[in-house]
Structure 1
Amino acid sequence: METCATFEEYLFNAGHTEQTVKSYLYTIDIFLSICKNADKFKYKDIVQYFEQEGKRLDNYGSRSRVLSAIKKYYDYLIDAGKRNDHPCRNLYLKGQQTKGVIIHDLFSGSELEQLLDREERYGDLRIRNKLTMSILIYQGLSSGELKDINLRHINLDNGIIYIPESRKQSRRHLAMEPKQYALFDRYISEVRPKLIRNETNALLLGKLGSRLTIDDINYLVSTYKILFPGRNLNPRTIRQSVIANWLNEKKIPLEQVQLMAGHRWISSTAEYRFTSDEERREIINKYHPLEQFQ
């Protein structure tokens, strides 16, 4: 798709009405007149702008419209190649429905490792469960991708897992962690043959010998919630945590993480990139979720 030359052109190409475009342009004109270096703003800078303009934006509707316009402006900068990250995509006013990455829902790498240490009652299912959880926490797959893995997608000789293209994610090849080799080998050679009832290419099988479903995977993960009382543990937050940890703990380059995560757009990956730990704590503790002027 051809890059739009101006913010106005970008808005029209995005399908906005003339009235909405005029409103967004007016809002951004004010924003840029107050914030001379807005093109370099970070999350906390956007929050501070709302703090400073709180009296002028004296109701939720006004704040919501301004935030929508500012988010769209940074979408435009990314589209125009002027930025490769979005400073406020996951900033929400109190009462807004959030769908993006919620920082306080995420788990560190060491916390995710604890999911592999749980004692299991059933011998064969213990191996399958541990393998399932290991793929979630090391390869960061969605539950749908995990469900669809077949035997032919596993290359033990080279230590590679092939993830086919899905409706939301791109195809990719992901390396196994060294500690996964023995798990894969034992499951495929010993456990899976005991579980299988009818011919199937599925890698992960349930107790009845059929392919694990998304509901099966969600249930399995839910049984680990006892390890983190009060935390939002599910396949989605595990995947989000893995991607965030690739970027922020392991310092893997953004472009490489995009490929590993299967994201079609690098802006999706950039959502997971945090500032320093100190700045991140400051943002969470002081600013999120903008309650001070609700």
Structure 2
Amino acid sequence: MTKPTIEDFLLQNYSEQTVKSYTFAINHFLVMNPKAKRYKYKDIVEYMEEIGKQQPNAKYRVVILSAIKKYYDYLVMSGYREDHPCRKLNIKVNSNQAVQVQDLFSSEELQLLLSRENRYENLDTRNHVLINLLIYQGLTSDEIIRLSVQDVDLDAGTIYIKASKNLNRRKGKLLPQQIMLFFKYINEIRPRMLRGATDKLIIGKLGKPITVDSIHAMIQPLKALFPDKNLNPQTIRMSVICNWLNEQKLALEHVQELAGHKWPGTTEKYFKVDSFQQRELINKYFPL
């Protein structure tokens, strides 16, 4: 049986655009390092140190290292290697911009946001849809107000999120429990609430497309659940991204796509550091 190429391997989990970026970086790495198939941890560290001398931009170095990691993932999958020489190697991103992950919310805490009920069925269902988009898909308020009914594909179980200035377009998966909720909202609740013609998915209580301010106002009463933390749509999204990485242990590149981040370095800031030794290693080889 013919083994898949590295492009085939990457296409199983990533978009064509991401695969194109990875293969370009991998091919450059192999040209510069013809013995890379047998490299050990210290060889990768030394190579990245050289990259750091040429390119001080940490985000650029994160992209290169992410591609190199996928190359060794492919070698392990194909049986060429039994070990992965750099799986735990990370690059330090500007600590002044680090996410304070200890101040965010766990998945269990985010689930509590669904416990508040509204005495009006229409608003209760609408609010549950909106909170679902926040705590499961990790959308921003701006992304939510720009969603249209056509962006939700209930048959495929997906939702299309449009690109913005700061975030990439992407297609998110709906969880099984979301399908019936969204079906009820789109086919029963939303038509009742609607006042006038619009294709926007989320409708406000006056029958018009919801605004960012309205989303913040809906979250405001829920702050009582967490008096010692700052609950708002932004910290909810940050918590979701953090939980994808640290609770669910999803790959950095996968979380980058789920979040719509343009750079892996943006996603990497959500990692919880496991040990003092790892911090010292990163500071030694990748100072900013």
TM value normalised by structure 2 = 0.66
Counterpart of 1:87, as a letter, is K
How much has 1:216 moved relative to structure 2? 0.7
Match of 1:131 among 109, 129, 132: 129
1:81 aligns with 2:81: no
Deviation of 1:219 (Å): 1.2
Contact 2:253–2:264 (CA under 8 A) maintained in structure 1: yes
What is residue 119 of structure 2 aligned with on the other side? 121
| Preserved contact between residue 254 and residue 270 of structure 1 (Cα < 8 Å) | yes
* Cα distance in 2 for residues equivalent to 1:80 and 1:242: 22
Q: Percent identity?
A: 40
Unaligned runs of 5+ in 2: 1-20, 26-44, 47-54, 67-88, 280-288
Aligned residue among 177, 185, 188 for 1:187: 185
| 1:103, distance to aligned residue in structure 2 (A) | 1.7
CA spacing shift, 1:166–1:80, aligned 2, 3 Å: closer
Give the residue type in structure 1 aligned to 2:102: H
Shift of 1:88: 5.0
| Cα distance between partner residues in 1 of 2:210 and 2:98 | 27
What's the RMSD between the two structures over aligned residues?
3.0
Alpha-carbon distance, 1:85 to partner? 4.1
C-alpha distance in 2 between matches for 1:246 and 1:173: 16
Q: Which runs of 5+ in 1 are unaligned?
A: 4-38, 41-71, 93-98, 284-294
One-letter amino acid matched to 1:183? L
Q: How does 1:113-262 map to 2 (within 5 A)?
A: 113-262=111-260
Paired position in structure 2 for 1:105: 103
Q: CA offsets per residue over residues 119-150 of structure 1, 9 Å max, x none?
A: 22222100000110011000000110011000
* Rounded Cα–Cα distance in structure 2 between residues aligned with 1:187 and 1:79: 41
1:82 Cα deviation after fit: 5.4
Q: 1:180 to 1:79 in 2, by over 3 A?
A: closer
Q: CA offsets per residue over residues 212-249 of structure 1, 9 Å max, x none? A: 11111111112210111121111111111111111111
SS at structure 1 position matched to 2:203 = coil
SS for the counterpart of 1:139 is coil
- Tell me the matched-pair count: 210
| Pairwise CA distance, 1:104 | 2.6
